[in-house]
Every structure is written in C-alpha cells, then in structure tokens.
Amino acid sequence: MIEGIGVRVDVVVLTICDGELSARLIRREREPFAGAWAVPGGAVGPGEELDEAARRRAGLVGGHLEQLRTYGGPRRDPRGRVVSVAYLGMIPCLTRPPWGGWFPVHELPPLAFDHGVILADGIERARAKLEYSSLATAFCAGPFTLADLRHVYETVWGVRLDGANFRRKVLSTPGLVEPLRRRSARIRGGRPAQLYRRGPAGQLHPAMLRPSC
Amino acid sequence: MIEGIGVRVDVVVLTICDGELSARLIRREREPFAGAWAVPGGAVGPGEELDEAARRRAGLVGGHLEQLRTYGGPRRDPRGRVVSVAYLGMIPCLTRPPWGGWFPVHELPPLAFDHGVILADGIERARAKLEYSSLATAFCAGPFTLADLRHVYETVWGVRLDGANFRRKVLSTPGLVEPLRRRSARIRGGRPAQLYRRGPAGQLHPAMLRPSC
DNA sequence: CCAAAAGTGTTATGTGTACACCCATGA
DNA sequence: TCATGGGTGTACACATAACACTTTTGG
C-alpha cells in the first residue's frame, strides 16, 4: 500500500486587506523554487486529519476552512511524486497585515510549482460560494453593517451592487444575519447604520447572483 | 517526502438502470471487509494522473468524470494511513447492467471503509450539479427526447416535473441541446417526439431549480 | 373513435433591477 | 445647511408554476 507518493496540504488563505481581496503567500527558502513565492502548506503528519494539517500548516486558528481540490499530476514536483490536498481558508478583514506576505489577487507574483493554478481555483471557488452560501460573513470581524457585508461582495466579485436591493436580499434570507441593539459609529458623516452579526444559516435560497452572469 | 501514506482513487459511478438512479459496487475479495461491497478503486500507479487512475480503476472508458473530494482520516483503513481521492463518474442509461454490481441508491448494501459516506457525497454532488450544469445529458446515450432528459431529472431528484415548463426551460437555454432532423419512434402510442443531442453549453443560466427547495 | 404523449398558449405569482426619494448624522 | 451614507417605496422586466388546450401518433 506504500507507494512512495508524498501527501501534502496546501492552503489558499484569503482575506480583504484595505479593500483588496488578498492571498497569503510565503517565500520558499529551499530548492526547488528557492526564493519564489508559494501558498502555505506542508506534509501531513502521521495520525493527523487533513483538515488539522491544513490549519497547522497555514497557521489558521479560527476562520473558515474547506477542502478545495486535490492536485496530483506526476510532474508537479521535480523531487518526486507528490499529491497535494488543497484547502481554501478565509479570515476576517484586516486593516494591516499581521505579518508579511499578503498580496492583492490582482498583483500576484509568479508562484512555485502549480500554486498559481491552485490559487486561481481557490479564488474562483470563493467567488462562486458567495453566491449560494453565507460565507461572505467569514470576511467580517465582529459586528458589521450591511454596507460592510456589501463591500465584501463588491471586493471579491469586483462589481458594484445596489445598496437597496442588497439590503432587501440579505434581510429576506432567514438566518443569514441577526440585528444587534447597537448602531455603528459614523466616520465621515451620514446616518449611523444598524449593526448585525452572523446568523445560523449556511446556504442562501435563493442565491445572490453575480451581476456579470 | 515519503511518509508511508498510501494514495488511492475511489470512484462513485452512477447511471440510470430501469428508471432508478444506481451506483456500481464491487465485492471485496480480500481483508479487510472481505465479502463486503465497495466502490471501485485502487492504488494510483507511478507516473499516472489521478484522473487516469480513476478511469482505469473504474473501467470507465467514456462518460463524465470529475473529482469529488479527498478522504484522508487517519483511521479510514485498518491496515494503515490511506488517503483516497474520490471521483464521480456518470454513464448513459442502461436497460440492463453490463455486468453485475448495479444497486439502486435506495437499496444500497452496507459498504466497506467510509465508502458509504463517499457514495452519499457523490449522489448529492450529482443532484446538485443537475441544477446548474448540463450534466443531465451525460446520462443519455445518443439522441434523446426532451421527455428522456426530463426523466433523468425526475429520477435523480425523485420528483415530478411539468413537461411544458421543462421544455421551455431547456429550449430557452442556448447551447444546451441541439435538435436533430429525426423524430423518435413511438412505443405505446402518442405523438413522436423531436430528437436532440448534447449542445456545447456546460453551465445553465439561470439554473434549473429543484422543486423541493 | 379513443388513449397517450408531444407540444403551445395563457395567466397568476414571485424575484431581480433600476432608480426616485426620505431619514439621520457630522461638520 | 449641506454632504454623506442609511434606509424605504415603487415600477418594470423577467422567470416560474399551474393548467387548459391543440397536435400527432398507435390501436
């Protein structure tokens, strides 16, 4: 049953930094691709669940994590056969990176191995899942306004959404968000907005469709 | 990089036998779970793509094949750590099984390892993909009528659909089906139906929604 | 002729979209 | 009071669902 195939996890971690959908990358220290950027990841430990391994290798304590796809081409790694179980993680908005390595997805450097494909697949999965799941709230830390949530959609999809229709859509989905008693403090004038937190709903029915389609 | 983790593919192969959504199972000959039913699969060969391995292990020459999910719990296999890359295959309707091992998904036997979970995930993926993809045509061999295509949806979802609305929906989706010059022969009376073949479209916009939701 | 299935028409109902307009706050 | 963003109302386009109706075949 042992075949000399290595098993790794590689994790596409996305967040929104300063209004830009961004991915976390690390710089490789060893050959091959020494000095190139790559998605965080590493070998799966003995007795370790794949999900656990993904969280450990990505340093992802909280936040959303889901399996993305498995990449197993025989020539992916010049050192030998390596099958990589890729994951997609999402963490709340950051105003500044906690430690280096966040790249806006429009300004990605060349990546090692097939990590460019993995990252592209992860971004597309995130964009698709916003349509039919409540995953957008995973990008929001603590209480948020409907404008905050709308900005998540606008940033990830790269479109502008009508605030009025977005509000109706979100509030008409049972269990998507729950209102708090507080209102947001205003920064630059304007009426203070109602604050919300995540609701128990996981799926959206009907879906929030991307305007481009 | 070699860690003693085995890598396999396991394939959920679905078809429609005699109006029933059915899965192909094989009987295990060796321990563990000798005599139990399991989904077809096996180890990935050296230098072999995962997709190739899935087709080879499932004996799937044509038909649709897509990656489903990877199962890697440390206790999946009592012999040791085995990561299984699961695939979902679909082949056209069969009036009778070509060789044994087709089970209606409502009458499944107990399955070896975690293959019950894998099979359930595969069935749910198939049901979900009918909504937003043209995958239903993968269950149709050669030219088909719109009634044939509707029966695919009805069988996989376990619901009844209105023929008139289904027709309009399918024909209004560009590139989903293409009409042929022929009409079907009638079996038990009734007007002969127009025959169609698959079109180039892969995605459905808007989606074909399950009535249950 | 009748039964059966293909195919068309019609209408009520709901959902997405665009946009006008009012409300509450900071400066 | 004005600018800004939160929040409401409304009209139109379009999709769905239900079902009556016509067409074309076999028996």
Three-class secondary structure of residue B154 per DSSP? helix
Tally the C-alpha atoms within 13 A of residue A109's C-alpha that lie toward its C-beta. 17
Q: What mean pLDDT is predicted for residues B143-164?
A: 97
Q: For chain B, what percent of residues have pLDDT higher than 70? A: 94
Dist. CA A39–CA A121, nearest whole Å? 13
**How many contacts does A have with B, using Cβ atoms within 8 A?**
89
**pLDDT of B3:** 47
Mutate to test the interface with B, among A1, A30, A66 (most CBs of B within 10 A): A1
DSSP summary character for residue B142? S
| Whether residue A119 has pLDDT greater than 90 | yes
Strand-pair category, B6-17 with B20-24: antiparallel
Distances in whole angstroms, Cα of residue A106 to Cα of each of A121, A131, A156, A158: 14, 21, 11, 11
Q: Which of B1, B4, B79 sits opposite A80 (nearest CB)?
A: B1
| Whether residue B54 has pLDDT greater than 90 | yes
- In this predicted model, what pLDDT tens digit does every residue of B83-135 receive, in sequence order? 999 999 999 977 666 667 999 999 999 999 999 999 999 999 999 999 999 99
Q: Which of B5, B69, B73 sits opposite A49 (nearest CB)?
A: B73
| Whether residue A75 has pLDDT greater than 80 | yes
Q: Say what the pTM is.
A: 0.95
| Whether residue A168 has pLDDT greater than 60 | yes
Nucleotide nearest B151, CA–C1', reads C5
Chain D positions with any atom < 7 A from a protein CB: 3-10, 15-20, 23-27
**pLDDT of B98:** 62
pLDDT band (50, 70, 90) for residue A198: very high
Mutate to test the interface with B, among A5, A11, A79, A124 (most CBs of B within 10 A): A5
| Whether residue A1 has pLDDT greater than 60 | no
pLDDT band (50, 70, 90) for residue A93: confident
* Chain B residues whose beta carbon lies within 8 Å of the beta carbon of residue A1: 6, 43, 77, 79-80, 82
**pLDDT of A98:** 62
Contact A153, A166 (CB under 8 A): yes
> What residue in B sits closest to A1 (Cα-Cα)?
B6
**pLDDT of B2:** 40
